[in-house]
Structure 1
Amino acid sequence: MRLIDYLCVPYRLEAATTELADGSWVRRVAYPELPECTAESTVVEDALCQLERRRVEMIVRMVGDGCAPPVPRPPLRDCDPAWVARQVGVSPDLIALIDRCDATTVPEQETNF
């Protein structure tokens, strides 16, 4: 699979609102199918933005290192990873890599779909 394909894989989202010891509340979001891909904020939209940025950065790093990210379901056909990356504040260098639809590939892994 190519980098662009991995970035189009939909992951299951988990979200929770949690009270902290000081009585304040935070929103925690995660993609449990991606290791350590979590975020938290007092505002859920900010937490989701952080989470998406981490997802994109993590997948780009994994593919760059030659590791296949988890693929629990097939990539979406109507997905624009570069647009998502721009919206969530991914670095311009990574956006340029995504825009080139870089031919970076990693060996296929078994999928669950």
Structure 2
Amino acid sequence: MTQTTDLEERKALIELVGKDLTMHIEDVPSEDNLIYMICQRVKSLLETDRDLLLSYLYRLDVPESQINAAMRITHQVPLDQSLGLLIYYRQLERVRTKRRFDSGPPIEGWEF
């Protein structure tokens, strides 16, 4: 179900998810446990503050077409799980893109 992530990717994911979804994650959970935690946060937000959840999805740049598709298939997959997976994979994409294009430390004298 999930793509395999290495430890560094998972640590970066935890940092992003924790910051972006206001979650406090103590240790480094397995990939499946991290997805479960995200889905639980989404479930809580669906029950208490849908507007905040939609704001998070917008800020995380989850495509609206994917959100709409997730909302249409709730008879097959619970909405909290669909949205949780969308968040997880979007954050994973961000981590991998950042790693790919990381230029390392700035050249001395070129700092901003």
TM-score band, normalised by shorter chain: 0.3 to 0.5
Q: Which has the higher helix share?
A: 2
> Which structure has the greater CA radius of gyration?
2
TM-score for both structures, normalised by structure 1: 0.35
- By percentage of residues, which structure has more strand? 1
